[in-house]
């Protein structure tokens, strides 16, 4: 499955519901503490149910909502690219469409609600029949479905398969289904088994935090081999092989138990008849635990979690590069979502460029999505505008919107920050000036503008008085801080100069 949309309500700093569109590569940008990491952590709560990096608790409820008596946190995800056929009743195949489990847009929409940070309740928002003669069929037992078919004399080719009976009943009332979007509780009654099966089709979600702790007992993904085990074990062919091994062991154990009881029966039948072998079913075995000690160690067997943060991130970088190559070779892999906070953390600029290129390649692979947060202009410049989502505080709450092209023809974190937060920086001034130079427009830009006296410091220590337009005056001071012969430009002049360049570029466009 592919994640299309994220909806979050009453979770930490998000009190009103926000909606975020997601692509194969999505990068969240915005000020510090504005809620970028919160979005990734909400997904971890949804997918990993408290067994991942984040544990949901009552402090995650938005304080404003809590003061108004609203304790319900809601995290909803919308998916497409789901399988054409799925198994939700025993071993019988059906489809989400034929079970009326898709919303009005034809997508799977799963809602998880948490009361005061407690356990989850799960709902599916679906365009579902409301006609009382054929509604809530997913909640009904096999006997009830059989009775409906008998009482209404409905033709049905197989009355032992629930999916077939539901389809027959809905077909019988096809002229008056009265379809409408409703929420189906999949945590109670017959629908619980349906959700247990449907959950297996959700993507694997892995969150790599920027400030994650590194303790000896850390069982999160600090060593990429641990994540590799989880993905490998989810491969259908490997699961089938392991199931065969488990069944073989189960058979041998049953044989040993039967022989033991047979011999015991010869000596004391009463005791033998009171005993039964208890062998766990093969599908309950936790194969991941068999390989939980996998690791990459360095000199003198020092584990990764004892190395420096830069080294750990560097290993992670190359894990992603290796994944990109592996996924190009293999097509039959489970859906995976990698969520990475600030991939630039502890990395040299050259490593940042390699990392983002690896992530872009990985996001192009089948069944793979990447979610990032970043403060790095190096990373943003590697993106397209479609990759970026800007988080802003507006009246009444927050918004998360796509980033449109501004004055510069490429994504620029400086420009995003200027547009969204009115952030005036020397870096953005340099970027605009450099763009005008590269396009051959700098002289035309300067034509007709007022000038300021600028004292240039020559290499021999002497000075030369020149006339510069404001933008060039600022540019020279930024690039020659050793020259103390001029009055330093102020914030207002920097803002004015940036505005002049933006207006000129806008007119060109």
Q: What is the pLDDT confidence band of residue 441, given thresholds at 50, 70 and 90?
A: very high
Q: Does 67 lie in the same domain as 198?
A: yes
Q: Are residues 54 and 174 in the same domain?
A: yes
> Using N-to-C axis directions, what is the helix angle for 426-438 and 470-479, rounded to 10°?
110
Return the pLDDT at 378: 83
Residues 434 and 477 in one domain: yes
**Residue 447: inside a domain, yes or no?**
yes
pLDDT at 299 over 60: no
- 79 shares a domain with 189: yes
Position 450 in a domain: yes
Indicate whether 180 and 258 sit together in one domain: no
Please, which pLDDT band fits residue 221 given cuts at 50, 70 and 90? very low
Domain assignment of residue 497, given as a range: 424-508
- Asked if residue 389 belongs to a domain, the reply is no
Least confident of 254-268, 352-366, 473-487: 254-268
What total number of domains does the chain contain? Answer: 3
298 in a structural domain: no
pLDDT band at 27 (very low <50, low <70, confident <90, very high): very high
> What's the pLDDT score for residue 320?
62
> Is there a single domain that holds both residue 158 and residue 274?
no
Regarding whether 68 and 10 lie in a shared domain, the answer is: yes
Is residue 430 one of the residues assigned to a domain? yes
pLDDT of 313: 63
Radius of gyration of the chain (CA): 30
Cα angle value 102/106/107 (rounded, 5°)? 65
What are the φ/ψ torsions at residue 181 (nearest 5 degrees)?
-70, 125
CB within 8 Å of 36: residues ≥ 6 apart: 28, 29, 30, 341, 373, 391
Read off the pLDDT band of 219 (50, 70, 90): very low
- Residue 17 pLDDT grade (very low, low, confident, very high; cuts 50, 70, 90): very high
Residue 407 has pLDDT above 90, yes or no: no
- Encode pLDDT of 89-115 as tens digits: 666 778 889 889 999 999 999 999 999
Q: Is 219 part of any domain?
A: no
Transcribe 439-501 into DSSP letters.
TT-HHHHHTT--EEEEEEEPTTS-EEEEEEEHHHHHHHHHH-TT--SSPPP-HHHHHHHHHHH
């Amino acid at each position: 499955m592919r994640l299309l949309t994220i909806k979050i309500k009453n979770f930490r700093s998000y009190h009103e519901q926000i909606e975020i569109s997601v692509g194969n590569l999505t990068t969240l940008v915005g000020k510090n503490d504005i809620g970028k990491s919160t979005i990734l952590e909400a997904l971890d709560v949804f997918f990993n149910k408290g067994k991942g990096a984040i544990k949901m608790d009552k402090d995650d409820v938005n304080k404003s909502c809590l003061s108004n008596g609203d304790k319900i946190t809601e995290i909803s995800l919308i998916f497409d690219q789901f399988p054409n056929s799925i198994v939700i009743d025993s071993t019988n195949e059906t489809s989400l469409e034929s079970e009326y489990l898709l919303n009005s847009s034809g997508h799977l929409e799963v809602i998880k609600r948490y009361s005061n940070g407690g356990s989850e309740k799960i709902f599916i928002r679906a365009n579902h029949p409301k006609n009382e003669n054929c509604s809530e069929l997913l909640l009904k037992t096999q006997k009830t479905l059989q009775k409906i078919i008998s009482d209404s004399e409905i033709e049905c080719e197989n009355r032992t398969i629930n999916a077939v009976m539901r389809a027959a009943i809905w077909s019988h009332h096809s002229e008056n289904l009265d379809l409408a979007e409703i929420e189906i509780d999949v945590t109670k009654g017959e629908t619980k088994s349906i959700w247990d099966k449907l959950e297996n089709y959700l993507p694997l979600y892995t969150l790599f935090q920027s400030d994650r702790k590194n303790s000896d007992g850390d069982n999160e993904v600090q060593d990429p081999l641990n994540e590799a085990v989880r993905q490998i074990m989810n491969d259908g062919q490997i699961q089938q092989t392991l199931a065969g091994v488990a069944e073989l062991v189960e058979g041998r154990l049953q044989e040993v138990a039967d022989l033991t009881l047979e011999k015991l029966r010869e000596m004391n039948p009463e005791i033998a008849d009171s005993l039964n072998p208890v062998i766990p079913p093969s599908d309950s075995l936790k194969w991941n635990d068999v390989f939980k000690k996998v690791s990459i160690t360095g000199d003198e067997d020092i584990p990764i979690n004892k190395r420096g943060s830069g080294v750990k991130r560097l290993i992670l970088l190359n894990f992603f590069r290796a994944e990109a190559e592996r996924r190009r070779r293999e097509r039959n892999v489970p859906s995976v979502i990698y969520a990475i906070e600030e991939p630039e953390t502890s990395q040299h600029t050259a490593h940042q460029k390699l990392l983002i290129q690896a992530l872009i390649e990985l996001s192009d692979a089948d069944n793979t999505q990447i979610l990032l947060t970043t403060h790095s202009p190096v990373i943003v410049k590697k993106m397209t505008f479609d990759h970026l989502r800007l988080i802003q505080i507006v009246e009444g709450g927050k918004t998360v919107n796509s980033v449109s092209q501004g004055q510069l023809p490429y994504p620029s974190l400086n420009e995003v920050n200027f547009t969204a937060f009115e952030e005036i920086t020397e870096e953005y001034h340099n970027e605009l000036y450099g763009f005008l130079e590269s396009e051959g427009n700098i002289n035309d830009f300067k034509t007709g503008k007022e000038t300021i006296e600028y004292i240039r410091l020559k290499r021999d220590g002497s000075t030369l008085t020149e006339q510069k337009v404001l933008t060039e005056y600022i540019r020279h001071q930024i690039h020659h801080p050793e020259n103390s012969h001029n009055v330093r430009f102020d914030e207002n002049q920097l803002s004015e100069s940036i505005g002049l360049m933006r207006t000129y570029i806008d007119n060109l466009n």
